Structure 1
């Protein structure tokens, strides 16, 4: 009797391999062969699940979005007030709690590829708009008297700070350690009054 494949387990294995190759080797290292080697399988199996490099990248971006959304939901739910929720959500977005920069490296790799591919760029914009919407909602809850213009500027400034810190820390973790990221965020949040 032929052995039944566990499609879910194979997809999870390949998913982890895609993530680790992009985090460890960056965009140039993300190849079907590298994913197959990391997963300990054939390139044929990788091609069956992810037929192109673009499919690998889209999958990595979706994983990143899912992981960060779960963390942001948890941070927000654990907060007792609007400012605490804003601080917690932005705080979990910088200096990753587990001390790794894998998520930042995956994000940077995806973003680099998105510069030359409209489908990838659209996936990035959708995730970014979701994060902007969350941050704007939290700021508006804390500062309901603010105008739409002030809410938009503050939202985009805070998101740009967090994402900029992540990009810089991905390439220079010693130059942008957790302490620096946390202090930069604290200074920006203190401007909210």
Structure 2
């Protein structure tokens, strides 16, 4: 009968998967590498996750959980709709070391998902939830438009911007500094809201 590790061990294995993917990229993720970081046997890793692909899925879900927590806090801490939208989107930008690590995990997972239907499905699930949240926040900034598709198009523009900024900043942090990322986002949010208000 298969038994699951205790909570402390499960957390240690989870952290090891995250650390390996964040520090070594997708090519560096292996059962042996994760076992070394977790200071356990490869058998324990396989028993807990089952496969390398399962470790990658786990890392992607961890990242989605982190961004969801951050987004929930950003929404709860702001009253004005534009501030809520901006705060949630800022949470997806790599403005500190922790979020830069999250972006590296996301990029590694996305690269692996290109040729793997299971990983692609996990990515699409998380992405659609994110787009749904941003669409709802955009709609709150310019209520009164009957066509829901207009809100979603505006949301897609903002998601594409933040994903692009996140990717480019990891590759060229000297150009895409935190201040420039925040300024670019603020301008994009203002432009998206202005465009929607003109359509009403």
TM-score of the pair, normalised by structure 1: 0.93
Aligned to 1:49: 48
Give the number of equivalent residue pairs.
189
Shift of 1:65: 0.6
Aligned to 2:148: 148
Question: What is the SS of the residue equivalent to 2:25?
Answer: helix
Aligned to 2:197: none
Question: What is the SS of the residue equivalent to 2:50?
Answer: coil
Aligned to 2:169: 169
Structure 2 alignment gaps of length 5 or more: 195-200
Structure 1: how far apart are the matches of 2:169 and 2:175?
7
Q: Does 1:133 align with 2:132?
A: yes
Shift of 1:99: 5.7
Shift of 1:131: 0.7
Q: Which runs of 4+ in 1 moved over 6 A?
A: none
Matches within 5 A, 1:36-115: 36-97=35-96, 100-115=99-114
Structure 1 alignment gaps of length 5 or more: none
Structure 2: how far apart are the matches of 1:64 and 1:99?
11
Shift of 1:39: 0.9
TM-score of the pair, normalised by structure 2: 0.89
Whether the 8 Å contact between 1:95 and 1:177 is mirrored in structure 2 is no
1:104-137, Cα deviation, whole Å (9 max, x unpaired): 0000000001001111111111111111111110
RMSD over aligned Cα, in angstroms? 1.5
Change in CA separation of 1:50 and 1:12 when aligned onto 2, cut-off 3 Å:
same
